[in-house]
Amino acid sequence: MKRFHPALVLLAFLGQTACLPDNRSGKSNSQDKYIALPAYFVAEKTHLLAANLVLHKTAVLNGQRESSTIAGTDSTAIQDLLKPFTDADLNKPSLRDEYDTSSLYDPFSGSRSYIYKSKGRQTNPAEITLEMDKHGIIQRVNIHAYTSNQVYEFRQDLAYLRNKRINITTYQKIAFLSSKEVEIDVTMAPKNEQQ
């Protein structure tokens, strides 16, 4: 049986952890062409759970409004709210070269914006805009998805403003059926502001 020196095992472990993604900025391994949103939103879920926030949710389905409050410790509810954002993975092999990338840099604030736009095919999502602060942490994410054919039309706009708001607007129309429109708006506030 082969034995490994403890220092080599430690070195190998440290080498592996150094390659893990920096989830605050959505950075991932060097093989990813685009910023890794799934990794960012997994980290955001942890961040929101630790932030001790209260989430006020308003849902509107075809004009019918319903409001509720979500505890900032409700892991399942937060995961459900972030799922559409997590699903926007441009690093899937099928989407590898489907987007044009542009970026804007603000020399005064040090912030940077990235725009990923579909090259013309009906690719979901159609466009993603990310805004990062001067430390490289994503502060805002906007995602636009659109699919249309003779039988089906789907539009979805997602907006995430870190520590402040989540907005999801979805329109769906299937031929010969009435359309369905859903808007979910969630505002976040520190728990102590609620008392």
Minimal CA–CA distance to 184: which of 148, 147, 159, 152? Answer: 159
User: Rounded to two decimals, what is the model's pTM?
Assistant: 0.79
Which tops the pLDDT comparison, 38 or 95?
A: 38
CA–CA distance, 192 with 112 (Å, rounded to integer): 32
User: What is the predicted pLDDT for the residue at 91?
Assistant: 84
Q: Average pLDDT for residues 153-175, to the nearest whole number?
A: 95
Q: Which residue has the tokens 């190998």?
A: 12
Which tops the pLDDT comparison, 95 or 158?
A: 158
Per-residue confidence band for 185, with pLDDT thresholds at 50, 70 and 90: very high
Those residues whose C-beta lies under 8 Å from the C-beta of residue 132, and which sit 6 or more positions away, are 25, 111, 112, 113, 114, 138, 139
Q: Which residue has the tokens 């472990």?
A: 13
Q: What tokens appear for 71 in the block?
A: 């505890």
| Percentage of the chain modeled with pLDDT above 90 | 57
User: What is the predicted pLDDT for the residue at 26?
Assistant: 54
Q: Is 71 a residue whose pLDDT tops 50?
A: yes
pLDDT in tens, 168-178: 999 999 989 99
Minimal CA–CA distance to 143: which of 37, 11, 6? Answer: 37
Contact 133, 111 (CB under 8 A): yes
Contact 165, 186 (CB under 8 A): yes
Domain ranges of the chain: 20-194
Q: Average pLDDT for residues 74-97, to the nearest whole number?
A: 89
Per-residue confidence band for 109, with pLDDT thresholds at 50, 70 and 90: very high
pLDDT in tens, 111-140: 999 999 998 776 789 999 999 999 999 999
